[in-house]
Structure 1
Amino acid sequence: MNNEYQNRYARLQASIARRGFDAALITSTDSIYYLTGFRYLPFERAFFIVVRPEGEMVIVTPRIEAENMATITLPHRIVEYTDYPAPSGETYMDALGSVISPSEKIAVEPSMPAELMVATGEYNPEVVPLIETLRLVKSKDEIRRVQTAAKYSDLGLRMIMEAAKLGTTIKGGYDRIPELRSEIMKGEGAFDQYTSSIWLGVWAAPFSAQPHRFPEPTDIFREGPNVGLSFLRVNGYSAETERTFFLHEPSAEEAEVFATMLAACDIAYGMLKPGVSAHEVDHQVMSFLRSEGFENNLLHRVGHGIGLGGHEGPWLAEGSDDVLEENMIISIEPGIYWRGQGGFRHSDTVLITSDGYRQLTDFPRDIKSMTLA
């Protein structure tokens, strides 16, 4: 893994040099983890990694974290500050000021908290997605780790569907989270609480028409399209599997909308390969759905990137500037929604290959398999 971090650090330095910056300030927890493997929860204490086009990184850290730096294998120098808050001369800005100067051209991350952006204002920082751009294309190790997460994501969705019964609450799916966690620990030997999470959720009809409503454990399964989502992060890397399923024989209208949703997915899959515009994928899918009369039933884009985060670039959306590249990992999840009735959406975790794509999640998607009557 050390070679992986060395490669990421070298690529970041090259990007800083290419863009003409004197230094970049890395502050987000995912960026710190991506660059070094160090797990850090900042709370109120600021933490900076200062990276220059050449040389070792400088870590500006509260004293309480300094001993933990031993887990960072890349060459680095530590500059400590006392605490937060601290008296003048001992603050994080005093420590940061000892390693950068206002005359330098500084890059910061889009996710930098507003408090830090204001505090570093004297350096006139420029917001540039340096690490976010590096994360778009995955290494072999990252692909392997997402594939591992995808395996457990499929298992989680199977648990959700096994627990679903007409007239019962959706709580049965939530109740299986400890079982899934145990399966991950048994299979991987670890479930790192800092970089792992499990969300098994079901939008029972008609709430499946509200894909960003948080399902309540008291929601009850009734007739209509239900949407189950297994959304995991396993020891650092994420995956998702999502399916529309029925606990009764679907009506002719429900079967027709389900088929249209699958057709929309297939349009997206038919376009996936390196060099394709992410905007164009979404545009073609949305144009199809609008032509089928669903222009008032669309709530979101076709998909998004998956990696350290469950939602990251590239963005498969109309207006996106992203272009697909080999070894990007994305979701494909066009949806159709009727308020008061329900929604239809499948989602899979998908790897862009040299000549097309490969699904990393592997779960049935046909209406027969998704009818559990």
Structure 2
Amino acid sequence: MTASLRLEIQPAEYRARREHLARALQQHGYDLMCVFGPTRVAYLTGFFFAATERPVAAIITDDGECSLLIPQLESDHVRQQCPELVNFAVYPEYPGGGSGQHPLLTLAAHLRTIRPSARALAADLDGYEHRWGYRGPKLSQVIDVPLHERLDLIDDARTIKSSAEIALIREACAWGDHAHRLMQDAITQGSDELLVSHGASLQATRDMLSALGDRYVPKAREGLPANAMFIRGHNTANPHGLHQQGGVQVGDTLVTGAYGVVGGYESELERTMFVGEPTSEQIKYFQAMLEAQDAGFAALKPGRRCSEVEQEVRDLLKERGMLAQARHHTGHAFGMEGHEHPFLDLDDHTELAAGMIFSIEPGLYVPGLGGFRHSDTLLVTPDGAERLSLYPRDLESLLIGRA
């Protein structure tokens, strides 16, 4: 199996990302940048890891050199994933493993070694994230040069997906669609939300691994490569409602979610479905939601601003007299994470550009009746947008157990 056939980003693209960041550091007068966010570390290096209380950081200099701060337990792991990286600052354990030295002090010493005359540093965060009981000093407290928080230097670059990233997301969409189909076909009156959701996810994962074989490269130790879930009934009026006990009943509104994960990149698919014959009220809100999503599709074009897309969707809902039932913005970018910058929101004025990936997911939420939301993965193209999630959207295709 050649590396080019494996469904993952190749080393040359990681190098190009670091070179792009190095040019930005030069432009802004920073000698180097410390990157703590696990997704940003993976984006720049290809090192995917289980983030715990043990700090990991990528250090990128203004000439593009890369080194890593890692705990001893990750030494072999990083070499397996990133054989081209050779420079490491290794600490024994958190909070010190008997060394008497906090990992952030190890990092500070490493920074002085690679840039002893540094004038200014950038970082995505001023120190490691407080997760799993981690406690530690800020990075600015252990170095003696000015530190500037500039996560935008990485996250702005992440907004435009490369052809390789788009290919991975396109593949992820196909498996999210497949997981949703398995789940929809398995739902009957009395079905349990959790059992059907997990059963469909597991079967979709089996199908995915069988079809892709050695091309599939896992990038996480938790979760499944293909996933689907749903919530039901009046609970769907909560945009992020939790699962509840009890079985599916005739008359229920179902709001679903499904996605695939390929090469560390995600897709997004959500649908509103009905059990049995929907009522006139259910149909009314479903059709209005569908029109709002169509408006979002049409508005997503290069040169427009995120806020303009949101405004067009809101204008349509206002015309329908349903703006009060909309509880969130129209969508968000995503890729390596389920939500990424920028957002289709009235206060996000980021200009859209070809290569961006967005969800379009306007929702209507009616207490006592239910929630109504479709979500699709869209790629901004040079002249508009392309829908990558291809699951049916129409009412007739989303009815369960109809007599």
Find the residue that maps to 2:396 and give its secondary structure. coil
Q: Indicate conservation of the 8 Å contact 2:170/2:388, yes or no.
A: yes
TM superposition score normalised by structure 2: 0.86
Q: Which residue of 1 aligns with 2:211?
A: 187
How many residues align? The count is 373
Q: Indicate conservation of the 8 Å contact 2:289/2:364, yes or no.
A: yes
State the shift of 1:97 in Å. Answer: 1.9
Residue 283 and residue 74 in structure 1: after superposition, are their counterparts in 2 closer, same or farther (change >3 A)? farther
Greater shift in the superposed pair: 99-108 or 355-364: 99-108
Q: Which residue of 2 aligns with 1:109?
A: 124
State the shift of 1:272 in Å. Answer: 1.3
Q: Which residue of 1 aligns with 2:192?
A: 169
State the shift of 1:103 in Å. Answer: 6.1
Greater shift in the superposed pair: 78-87 or 206-215: 78-87
CA distance in 2, matches of 1:9, 1:139: 14
Pair 1:14 & 2:33 matched? no
Deviation per residue, 1:287-335 (Å, 9 max, x gap): 2212322232111110111211111122111101322110111110101
The residue identity in structure 2 corresponding to 1:113 is E
Find the residue that maps to 1:175 and give its secondary structure. helix
Deviation per residue, 1:206-246 (Å, 9 max, x gap): 11111212223545334042111113323311001111111
Pair 1:95 & 2:106 matched? yes
Q: Indicate conservation of the 8 Å contact 2:35/2:125, yes or no.
A: no
Greater shift in the superposed pair: 128-137 or 169-178: 169-178
State the shift of 1:75 in Å. Answer: 4.5
CA distance in 1, matches of 2:278, 2:339: 32
CA distance in 2, matches of 1:63, 1:167: 50
Greater shift in the superposed pair: 103-112 or 21-30: 103-112
Q: Which of 21, 32, 51 pairs up with 2:41?
A: 32
CA distance in 2, matches of 1:116, 1:269: 45
Q: Which consecutive unaligned segments of at least 5 residues does structure 1 have?
A: none
State the shift of 1:68 in Å. Answer: 2.8
State the shift of 1:76 in Å. Answer: 4.1
The residue identity in structure 1 corresponding to 2:109 is S
Deviation per residue, 1:247-297 (Å, 9 max, x gap): 222222222221111111111111111111001101221122123222321
The residue identity in structure 2 corresponding to 1:151 is A
Q: Structure 2 matches for 1:333-352, cutoff 5 A? A: 333-352=361-380
TM superposition score normalised by structure 1: 0.93
CA distance in 2, matches of 1:237, 1:12: 21
CA distance in 2, matches of 1:145, 1:217: 36
Q: Which residue of 1 aligns with 2:147?
A: 125
Residue 144 and residue 103 in structure 1: after superposition, are their counterparts in 2 closer, same or farther (change >3 A)? closer
State the shift of 1:96 in Å. Answer: 1.4
The residue identity in structure 1 corresponding to 2:210 is K
Q: Which of 168, 183, 202 pairs up with 1:178?
A: 202
Q: Indicate conservation of the 8 Å contact 1:278/1:323, yes or no.
A: yes
Percent identity over paired residues: 27
The residue identity in structure 1 corresponding to 2:171 is T
Residue 286 and residue 74 in structure 1: after superposition, are their counterparts in 2 closer, same or farther (change >3 A)? farther
Q: Which residue of 2 aligns with 1:244?
A: 272
Greater shift in the superposed pair: 243-252 or 190-199: 190-199
Q: Indicate conservation of the 8 Å contact 2:19/2:64, yes or no.
A: no
Q: Which residue of 2 aligns with 1:80?
A: 90
CA RMSD of aligned residues (A): 2.2
The residue identity in structure 2 corresponding to 1:157 is H
